Structure 1
């Protein structure tokens, strides 16, 4: 059963008198909210001091999403009603403008909106702002127009120029190849740099936003940002001195665990010591009320050109966003976007949100959701990481239950581990009519493999090194001794031996009870399902494709009933605007193929076989 989650706030009225609950479960249950075109989560509590979390920007917040949620939960448990939200143009919030151009002032204004919403929705009398990285710089600016009582700055950039230098370095390393140069820049990327724009992990910083950042300076404020400030960073002296001179009481210290917090969504870790210090600072001396001030919230909903979005919860702790078209195309399938790695449902570079809204404008509904253990869904019972979990397809089945009420056909979309879970669900559930599988790493996961070890392949795959060796710069590094050939050879040898042992184990005990990948694909085609595979050139998943569906040219195409698409000069996450447009075109082709296929219940039943003919076939005399 699916329920539209209760969020948003109705107009500007004060909270109404409504029944309240003092149970721990009621006080700790986060509620999706929408306000002023923004999407967020309100974590209720009984204190009169509230907290607004101002997250990092773009890729850094994508990595920090789940730890940031843990901080919100910890603050609420300490008694502080806490609001976390997505900036305009990020996550599940609306776009900044029709042109989609985000400005620093737009993000600062969003923080002011969040503060006013928190006051109005919860009745708090004091507000604490907590800003992470660029969010800390934005929070400082927001205090100049929206006074707050306390301010927490977590690793703010000294200046906007310093922040940009870091982001330009990250743009070259995020999604790159370890121990070797990153992917060759496409013409579009070169033009983007020439036009003074920047893409970090698929998140684009436009020319206007970059120009704003050039002039950003955390110390260039004229009034104290808050009476009390907590500053945690590797370098605090200069900023702490400036804030003290302005009249703030400043508590400063290091920020251990920052790199693990914002480094990569798959390996993000909660900086327990730093977050405990933040919680203690935010809640110190706070006044509590019992029971908690009741919330007056309307159902969360965002509207855009051709689309409407609402949050949903199902079974019972999975979370997603239902994106509905204003005018649905007749017989349009519903698209289920499956989580990739540990990436939240909005997608790498916010691509899933953008694609869902684009589809809705064309009349196609969708549900983007988090598998258990990812984003805003609950934890997995076994506490393991979700990528390549042997039961990950069960969450997709639960999502299928959630959209079954529409009666429409269903198409799955997933990348890498998400493509793996989608393939498993496609084979097991006849309600799935098609799938677009992007960089499918494997058809079956060998439980003997270590997920972290596979993801953390220090030296990349054999095909990666083969590609690197075609480049002159790589040869120069080899000759100069900068690349450790012996270590690479030993690593590849161990990997080859491990692969051979896994294949031997599969012969003795097959990983999948459904037979070989080729047999399952054949059954899917007989069922009428549409399957499309697309890879970035050199992706490690191509090895599994060739091993299971055919090494000879065209063999996999014939088995799938459609060509396998291999795209050059594209990163694993299809981050660029070009790559996203390409995925959109391929997905629409899958949707058309599914729409054109006859429904299983409309296919004429086969005529009964002549028993004599059956006997001839069994006896080999046909």
Structure 2
């Protein structure tokens, strides 16, 4: 059964939803960007029902200034108090829950990493946002990461139509070689105060277990893989060959299965 409730965060009333279940391990879903707690196309609401049906209570909320919540929207970098208050509210609303894992996608994943330590037993971070600036401001970066460009070239070289264009001279070889040469240039290291560097440092300092989920065709995931390569060797990583940033459609079942595996 799903209940609507509210809780306080620094003087503001925040709206929340609790999908009840009998299990002692719960899932806190933190919304990314400026999405409300139901998620894109109600994706998070459906995910919550799916996880709760397996016996795990699920708590979702709108941070300050988003959806039905009061206060000013300060973006993901100022959402630490919101997340901490949501954890406390989850425990109060479901006192039988002894362990809480948190799921965040995009800048919600980055928020969970940056605002540690939090009273959580584990993290599930999907497609962490590493571009400086709010995700809502640049969800389609002007310049794709080198990994995205490389993947594009490889897919085209596997396409018979593209190969035919090469043979018939329809492709500008000078442009092609310039693009391939640019990929050989070493990537500039992230500035120490950049979001990517701070997320990499946060992962290195994590005190709770965590799993990284990546849709390998998604630009945000590709940028994370390129700018935080050492993080991929520190934490378990699950990869899905999909361009869906929000794990839409059939990808939602893959996401649910990985969450359930982490909760167990």
TM normalised by structure 1 equals 0.35
Determine which structure has greater relative contact order: mean sequence separation of CA pairs < 8 Å that are 6+ residues apart, divided by chain length: 2
> How far apart in 2 are the matches of 1:544 and 1:323?
31
Tell me the CA shift for residue 453 of structure 1.
Answer: 5.5
Partner of 2:13: 317
Q: Which of 407, 417, 420 lines up with 2:110 in the alignment?
A: 420
Partner of 2:224: 544
418 and 506 in structure 1: CA distance in 2 versus 1, 3 angstrom threshold: closer
Tell me the CA shift for residue 536 of structure 1.
Answer: 0.9
Q: Contact (CA 8 Å) 2:147, 2:226: kept in 1 or not?
A: no
> How far apart in 2 are the matches of 1:543 and 1:459?
11
Partner of 1:398: 85
Q: Which structure 2 segments of 5+ residues have no match?
A: none
Q: Which of 127, 133, 152 lines up with 1:468 in the alignment?
A: 152
Q: RMSD over aligned Cα, in angstroms? A: 3.5
Tell me the CA shift for residue 582 of structure 1.
Answer: 1.2
String of CA shifts for 1:226-251, please: whole Å, max 9, x gaps.
xxxxxxxxxxxxxxxxxxxxxxxxxx
Q: How does 1:573-612 map to 2 (within 5 A)?
A: 573-577=246-250, 579-592=251-264
Tell me the CA shift for residue 544 of structure 1.
Answer: 3.2
Q: Contact (CA 8 Å) 1:436, 1:531: kept in 2 or not?
A: yes
The answer to whether 1:344 aligns with 2:28 is no
String of CA shifts for 1:240-292, please: whole Å, max 9, x gaps.
xxxxxxxxxxxxxxxxxxxxxxxxxxxxxxxxxxxxxxxxxxxxxxxxxxxxx
Tell me the CA shift for residue 423 of structure 1.
Answer: 2.0
Partner of 1:248: none
Tell me the CA shift for residue 413 of structure 1.
Answer: 0.7
String of CA shifts for 1:305-345, please: whole Å, max 9, x gaps.
xxx111111123211111112xx13xx21211111222221
Q: What is the number of residues matched between the two proteins?
A: 243
Does the residue aligned with 1:317 lie in a helix, a strand or coil?
A: strand
Q: Contact (CA 8 Å) 2:215, 2:241: kept in 1 or not?
A: yes
Does the residue aligned with 2:86 lie in a helix, a strand or coil?
A: helix
Q: Which of 432, 456, 461 lines up with 2:120 in the alignment?
A: 432
Partner of 1:503: 190
String of CA shifts for 1:3-57, please: whole Å, max 9, x gaps.
xxxxxxxxxxxxxxxxxxxxxxxxxxxxxxxxxxxxxxxxxxxxxxxxxxxxxxx
Q: Which structure 1 segments of 5+ residues have no match?
A: 1-307, 593-622
Tell me the CA shift for residue 455 of structure 1.
Answer: 2.2
> How far apart in 1 are the matches of 2:112 and 2:71?
20
> How far apart in 2 are the matches of 1:310 and 1:355?
15
The answer to whether 1:516 aligns with 2:204 is no
String of CA shifts for 1:500-523, please: whole Å, max 9, x gaps.
4x834549xx975x99245313xx
Partner of 1:567: 240
